[in-house]
Structure 1
Amino acid sequence: MAHHATASAVDIAIDGAEIARIIDAHTALEGPLLPMLHALQDAFGFVPAQAHGPICDALNISRAELHGVISFYHDFRAAPAGRHVLKICRAEACQSVGGAALADTLLAKLGLDWHGTTANGAVTVEPVYCLGLCACAPAAMVDDKVVGRVDAAKLDKVLAEVGA
């Protein structure tokens, strides 16, 4: 049932020279891995699989170690996100006032799992753990705009605005 429509790496131009430049620019830093991953994501919109080998070689780490770091930090992507990112708060305050049910309904309606992207590439739905709007729960964020007291009608409006 879950649908994960995302552009494949084949659809995205991955510049190996740009990957090498980013890695080289960060290897002299103390604790270079996170800044390196952020720079790659800034450049490509995600951390391309083509960068994994060169990162491991440059930092003398295993692919398992790299995967552990990338998967631990939820903001790193393995594939491009949709044109818009809708984050739904999963923290306790939002869950206590219906946020979990609202999220489940939204995901079912869109036919997605968390981190999935709509087939038209308009929106990626991601969990987030606290947006600081606990007094206005449940909360969501679309791109950089926070929305408090979210209900089905507000979510439908947000989705219409982003073309989902």
Structure 2
Amino acid sequence: MNVHVPGSDVGARTLAIVSELKGLEGPLLPILHEIQAEFGFVPQESLPVIARALNLSRAEVHGVVTFYHDYRDHPTGRHVLKLCRAEACQSMGGDELAERVKALLGIDFHQTTLDGAVTLEPIYCLGLCSCAPAAMLDGEVHGRVDADLAKELVAEARR
């Protein structure tokens, strides 16, 4: 993942991505995914470029970005730790796990540690309901997360 560099030409990079993908059936979501992969988030400067190229209003593009939890409007830490907040995980100790991880990191959901190492995000179902509670660190899922595994995941993310 690249990280947005202030002063870089976001518009030109966005236009290149849009030009490459706008021929797809329903191109908005793939474009947004690719932009987030490129910048680490979806910069506000990208929205009018996307809207113009796809003949959408800026509000329509903004609505899609804000509707889906996976799209970010700011950069993340070097690692992203997601904790499942769905019912199965909550019933198996997910709330306690979340409080423990927040305490270990010293942050709340949607925040990044001061050293820029870890961003903590909620996610609503990782599909590991039978292995609850579940977490995902940098795209790798972990089931049956207990206090010890939570501590290991936090330590790994802080390295």
Task: Identify the TM-score tier after normalising by the shorter chain.
Answer: 0.7 to 0.9
CA distance in 2, matches of 1:136, 1:32: 34
Which residue of structure 1 lines up, in the alignment, with residue 107 of structure 2?
112
Matches within 5 A, 1:1-164: 11=6, 13-163=8-158
Give unmatched runs, 5+ long, in structure 1: 1-7
Structure 1 counterpart of 2:35, which letter? L
Q: What secondary structure does 2:97 align onto? A: helix
Cα distance change on mapping 1:11 and 1:157 into 2, 3 Å = farther
Q: TM-score, normalised by structure 2?
A: 0.85
CA contact (8 A) 1:93 1:137 kept: yes
Structure 1 counterpart of 2:96, which letter? A
CA contact (8 A) 2:135 2:145 kept: yes
Cα distance change on mapping 1:54 and 1:130 into 2, 3 Å = same
Give unmatched runs, 5+ long, in structure 2: none
CA distance in 1, matches of 2:115, 2:90: 29
Cα drift, residue 143 of structure 1 = 1.2
Which residue of structure 2 lines up, in the alignment, with residue 5 of structure 1?
none
Identity within the alignment, % = 56
CA distance in 1, matches of 2:23, 2:144: 46
Q: TM-score, normalised by structure 1?
A: 0.82
Structure with the larger RCO, 1 or 2 (CA within 8 Å, 6+ apart): 1
Cα distance change on mapping 1:83 and 1:60 into 2, 3 Å = same
Cα drift, residue 88 of structure 1 = 0.6
Q: What secondary structure does 1:49 align onto? A: coil
